[in-house]
Amino acid sequence: MSINSKPSGSKWSRVWLYFAIAFSITWIIEIGLALYGISMQTASGSVMLSISVLGPATAAITLTYFMEDKEGIRDYWKRITDTKRISLRWYLIIFLLPAVLFGLSALLDILMGGKGLNFGAQIMQFSANPFYLIIIAVLAPTFEEFGWRGYALDKLQMRWSALASSLILGVLWALWHLPIFLIPGTYQYSLGVGSLAFWTYMISVIPLTFLFTWIFNNTYRSTLSAILFHITIDITAEAFSVTERAYTYFILLMILASIAIVMKWGAKTMKLIDEDDINQSHPH
């Protein structure tokens, strides 16, 4: 399946059904947790929140099996398990780019007279509820990417450019996070709805989506690359624990990186790999 191909019928439009299912599963559970005041620090809260993050994966897998042929199903799982789609250069980008961006943002904060980093700020939270780290750093990124890049981005790019697809997905991905801000015990809850930290968090998702698209499109539509990048981003964010001002710098750096990517790699695909190379190296 080619990036930006124009399939017959409305195959690309299945993405809207995907968003409806993914949002419904996650929001129903998380809004329920918020209404009943169930904290993430409780066992029931941890379990229910873990189930809620299955929304994107559940929607993607369900639609893949009900609406794709055997080749489509094989392609979906192949992109999750195939390590060869990711070259060494892109593995380095996946694992080092988050640290570089957070490091530069912290350095800018320090140069402006700030603290830059708060190493170990999350240790007490992790000690109180170790399962929280597993959910945030491993489970959530993995199951989210089964849907966001593994299904949604793939379908969006059948109809729109990489630039337009990233904007659409970025906005919807940010909105998907809204209910978690109302659940006691989560990091998002501590930010407070409507606060400056709330808005910087929501805004940051959009330029971050551009980085995901860039990596995804340059690794032969590898869902695995998105999973690894998402896990790396989350672990790095928790480990660095930058100040609020440094996080603002982090967003600005991602915006600049996104602009540079579009200018250098192009708004249509954000990739350097030729379509013929994809078809020859990884026939579908």
Q: pLDDT digits over 57-101, tens only?
A: 999 999 999 999 999 999 999 999 999 999 999 999 999 999 999
Higher pLDDT, 283 or 38: 38
Confidence label for 9 from pLDDT (cuts 50, 70 and 90) = very low
Phi, then psi, of 115 in degrees rounded to 5: -85, -30
Within a 10 A sphere around the Cβ of 50, how many other Cβ atoms? 16
Measuring CA to CA, which residue among 257, 272, 159 is closest to residue 219? 272
Cα–Cα distance between 207 and 55 in angstroms, integer? 23
Provide the token pair at 272: 């350097």
Provide the token pair at 24: 């419904």
pLDDT at 276 over 70: no
Cα–Cα distance between 201 and 264 in angstroms, integer? 27
Q: Please say whether the beta carbons of 276 and 283 come within 8 A.
A: no
Residue 258, CB half-sphere, CA atoms under 13 Å: how many? 22
Q: pLDDT digits over 148-174, tens only?
A: 999 999 999 999 999 999 999 999 999
Confidence label for 117 from pLDDT (cuts 50, 70 and 90) = confident
Cα–Cα distance between 137 and 15 in angstroms, integer? 26
Measuring CA to CA, which residue among 178, 179, 154 is closest to residue 168? 154
Partners of 242 in the β-ladder? 117
Domain ranges of the chain: 11-281
Report pLDDT for 140: 86
Over range 22-38, report the average pLDDT: 96
Report pLDDT for 29: 97
Q: Please say whether the beta carbons of 49 and 188 come within 8 A.
A: no
Cα–Cα distance between 190 and 127 in angstroms, integer? 17
pTM assigned to the model = 0.89
Q: pLDDT digits over 181-224, tens only?
A: 999 988 889 889 999 999 999 999 999 999 999 999 999 999 99
Provide the token pair at 266: 């192009």
Residue 138, CB half-sphere, CA atoms under 13 Å: how many? 5
Confidence label for 19 from pLDDT (cuts 50, 70 and 90) = very high
Looking up tokens 């800018």, which residue turns up?
108
Residue 187 neighbours by CB under 8 Å, 6+ apart:
136
